[in-house]
Amino acid sequence: MKKILSLTFIILLFISCGNKNEQSIEDLITSNNLEQIRVKKSELDKKQQEIKAQLERLEVKIKELDPLEKIPPITTLIVKESIFNHYLELQGSVNTKQNLVVFPEYSGILTRVYVKEGQHVNKGQILAKIDDGGLSQQLAQVQIQTDLAKTTFERQERLWNQKIGSEIQYLQAKSTYEAQQKVVNQLQIQIGKTIVRAPFSGTIDDVITEQGSVVAPGQSQLFRIVNLSNMYIETDVPERYLTTVTKGKLVEVNFPILGKTINSKIRQAGNFINPANRTFKAEIAVPNKDKSIKPNLTAKLKINDYTNDKAILILQSIISENAEGQQYVYTITNKNGNKAKAKRVIIETGKTQGDYIEILSGLENGSEIINEGARSVKDGQDVKILLAE
């Protein structure tokens, strides 16, 4: 009580001195005497510092004597159910099933190249021509012999139908014609291999061999053709997610280089576990209307592997752990105005996402827990609520 009276007396004395000095300060300002004004300011600055020091000492003593000042201040929040989506973050690479290097099927000189890099081609379009080495002339000669064999067979067939001539003559003519026709077909197939066609619709990404070069099957790369319409991302998923990362799951795809994010779905989840790294493959379809996404482009994936429509989420920073490894938080009991008691509650946690963690047991919807100051209180301790969120 004496301390409080002393504090009151000092404050009143300061106010009284301030009132007395009010007029003198006005007089000094009016006098425009710079030297006197500076002297007066120095006096007031000194008094201000002395009073500030005295007030700080009084404040410290009040906190020592007042039992309410020893109660730790806290803030609280009320936990509420919300939708919780957990995402598995992985990295993948863009691929296309239509990214092919075209090889020749025939040996010879590449006489003509009909396309250039960046050109769009349709399936079956002629890309190049290889010299056939005289096969065309040979086909022309064989075709003449085939036409003669056909005529002979047709005449022999008419006679045989009229019961004229022997059966052996008819069969010989038929056999000769069919043999010649097979020779023609074989030569046509060989000549067809001298024409290089597009295996699918796409873009010529690279003309690898120039016109005039000698090429050979399985050795000479002619063109690289790419179709950017049917793109997908392939990623390796740890085997523990085998039951949660399945076909149809939503995926957020981010391309850091392009600064682009799209939403897609898993179109295929592998059934084979790689024994070397214990992962399985997953494919995510990628729409690419503007052709900006290229093969082998790196992508960051966020796969929605878990959803809880009624999850209780709290900040991980307010959770503590006891010697037995149990996790706990503090709730509020016996609340009376801004005074209450802290109660320790053992909790069980689930998945995390960012700074938040899912509470599986220990807390219910509407529970009021200690937020700020949670690590400075004890079980059963009185607390003072500064803010309830």
Same domain, yes or no: 115 and 193: yes
pLDDT above 50 (res 325): yes
Same domain, yes or no: 164 and 302: no
Same domain, yes or no: 256 and 198: no
Which of 290, 308, 326 is the endpoint of a domain?
Answer: 308
- 72-121 pLDDT, tens per residue? 788 888 999 999 988 899 999 999 888 889 999 999 999 999 999 989 99
- 184-214 pLDDT, tens per residue? 999 999 988 999 999 999 889 899 999 999 9
Same domain, yes or no: 239 and 93: yes
* Conformation bin of residue 174: beta by default, left when phi > 0, alpha when psi is -120 to 50: alpha
Whichever domain contains 244, its CATH number is: 2.40.30.170
Report pTM. Answer: 0.56
Domain count, the chain: 4
Which of 199, 225, 251 is the endpoint of a domain?
Answer: 225
Same domain, yes or no: 157 and 93: no
Which of 205, 225, 245 is the endpoint of a domain?
Answer: 225
| Tokens matching residue 98 | 């239509």
Same domain, yes or no: 162 and 197: yes
Q: Which residues contact 272 (CB under 8 A, 6 or more apart)?
A: 280, 281
Same domain, yes or no: 140 and 194: yes
Angle at 369 between CA 364 and CA 372, to 5 degrees: 150
In the block, tokens 């039951």 appear at: 243
| Tokens matching residue 147 | 């036409």
Same domain, yes or no: 109 and 173: yes
Same domain, yes or no: 204 and 231: no
pLDDT, residue 218, reads: 86
Rg (CA), the chain: 45
Structural domain boundaries enclosing 325: 73-83+309-388
